[in-house]
Chain A
Amino acid sequence: MQLALLIDLNVCVGCHACVTSCKEWNTSGAAGPMADFNPYGKDPTGTFFNRVQTFEIGAFPKVETVHFPKSCLHCEEPPCVPVCPTGASYKREEDGIVLVDYDKCIGCKYCSWACPYGARELDEKQKVMKKCTLCVDRLYDQNLPEAERLPSCVMACPTSARLYGDIHDPDSEVSVQIRENGGYQLMPEWGTKPSNHYLPRRKTRIHLHQDELERVDNPLKKEGLQPQPPSDQKTLDETTSW
């Protein structure tokens, strides 16, 4: 099993609900708060597991805004895990979630150097490395209703741009979506095999061919025999339509 998120860039509106929902759930958990500094002052900064970035593609007038949610991708070959000197970073065998044991982390930051995506952030107060847990403390919580055993970002997304499931199960919703709608991975060049996938922007277009507008086998056009009613009489259309 490899749990993962599938983020549909075609649907994301960049509202940051996933960001705030993530922070709200994870800062209130047993692992301790995700520290903020100057939250209401100049240059506010703090620890986040999930951020929404915005990119502008192209130049006016052929321009398009892409909102790009970014969190740990829970790679199948996570480069951050083997470099950890203490074993604090690990990938769970049972569901493939990459986690940090905050009680073992020495805060050397080496794993953050070894992540090409910048998914890990050092908590400047607790001095340990933090990252998206895929809300592992929700997924298996028997006290939650089954419908809520989801990452809190997925729960929060108002447009359902975030899908969650097992990408190793070929029939799961995420696998089908990835397969059928062109799901892709970030920076595939490094062989990290990110589990989280993204669905691209898709345009819905109607393709109209000329023969759909005009019948080529119109019997009235056969052999150039066009009906040419006298100009002072009503045409066929004017006769039959009212």
Chain B
Amino acid sequence: MHPAFSVIFLTTLIGVGQGLFLALFTGQVYALANLLPAQDSQSFYAIGSVVAIVFLIAGLIASVFHLGHPERAWRAATQWRTSWLSREVLALPITMGLIFAYGLTHYMGWTEPFFIIAKGTLPVDASLIIGTLATIATFALFICTAMIYAGIKFIQEWHTPLTVFNYILLGGASGFTLAAAFSAYVGADLVGFYGMWAVILTITGLISRAAVLWRNKHLQHKSNLQTAIGVRHNNIQQKAQGAMGGSFNTREFFHGSPQAVVKMARYGFLSLVFIVPVVLLGASYSMESSYLPLLAFVVQYVGLMMERWHFFTEAKHPQNLYYQSIA
């Protein structure tokens, strides 16, 4: 498949935003359980939510460039019964709205508990309720985004539950890395906590992503030229594809990059998404540096763009069987 930069930016940027929100809310829940020091509502949770929303909006803006007619995009909310893309179009603003509401409750200080459960240890306030709803929305958005790809059964490289795990794990990893960078920046005492979770998610993501690489290397494609044109012969060669100057079919479904570039991207993302950030986060933990986590995030984000680019080049669409040679 041809990697579209609009989609690469969309999926990576909203992944960061979702992951950052999950990190913020995880921190709040840990603080409720007195496992972590509570943070200031305004300077930490509210500002953090703003950062998450900025990433989500940036992703939304990137997605607009993918559309031929963005002015009609509102129609995309109508087919949620059947289309994962439509579900994503609904889940994205719902997630953004809930994260905004979460940030707003913290900013306005609406954190008086409504009631207290679990024998007086768990005060339930507005931010906890909205945060829980936003967490559900965030995971729903992850699933919708990933199922757009995993749901197409004949793009076999994508048609696996691992695609969904990867979107959740890699989005989560980049979000927690950003949370570590954000904590370091505002001087919150959570760099170690977020850094540790970022490392755990990154390593889990590595296992899941490597499994996909292994799977795709050994994948048996169901379709071949014999089933494509219905001629039972082992030696079929295309002599003409009906157009000399290419067509939408040759532009949209072929990445057109040499194998060497794809290989470089593979090694590039494997080191930039997984190895370098883990090393940098580990170093920041021992050195107590305030900018190393930020560096780790930037490196990981660049790596994630390469990962998403590679994700598209991996996918072999069966229609390509009809476009093997021009003349």
Contacts and interface: CB of A to CB of B under 8 A. Distances in A.
Interface of A: 16, 19, 38, 42-48, 51-59, 65-66, 68, 70, 79, 82-88, 104-110, 112-118, 120-122, 124, 126-128, 184-190, 198, 200-201
A53 B223 contact: no
A100 to B, nearest CB: 12
Given A53-B240, A106-B68, A108-B67, A83 B82 contact: yes
12 contacts: A43-B244, A54-B238, A54-B239, A79-B154, A110-B85, A112-B248, A118-B320, A118-B322, A120-B248, A128-B69, A186-B227, A200-B230
B246 A56 contact: no
A200 B240 contact: no
Contacts of B317: 113, 116, 118
Contact of B322 (A46, A57, A104, A117): A117
A77 to B, nearest CB: 12
Contact of A83 (B75, B84, B222, B223): B84
Interface string B210-249: 0000000000001101011111010111111111111111
A105 B85 CA distance: 13
Contacts of A68: 229
Given A87-B78, A113-B155, A115-B319, A186 B222 contact: no
A116 B252 contact: no
A186 B86 contact: no
Given A85-B83, A113-B317, A121 B247 contact: yes
A200 B227 contact: no
A86 B79 contact: yes
B152 interface: yes
Contacts of A79: 152-154
Contact of B247 (A45, A110, A114): A45
B295 interface: no
A59 B69 contact: no
Interface residues of B, number: 57
B88 to A, nearest CB: 8
Given A106-B73, A127-B69, A189-B223, A116 B238 contact: no
Given A48-B247, A108-B76, A187-B227, A85 B89 contact: yes
A58 to B, nearest CB: 6
Contacts of B66: 108-109
B269 interface: no
B231 A55 contact: yes
B142 interface: no
Given A65-B239, A86-B76, A121-B247, A116 B154 contact: yes
Contact of A85 (B70, B79, B154, B236): B79
Given A53-B241, A85-B77, 13 more contacts: A43-B244, A43-B245, A55-B237, A58-B235, A59-B235, A65-B239, A85-B79, A113-B155, A116-B223, A117-B322, A118-B319, A187-B223, A189-B223
B253 interface: yes
A86 B85 CA distance: 9
Nearest to B77: A85
Contacts of B86: 85-86
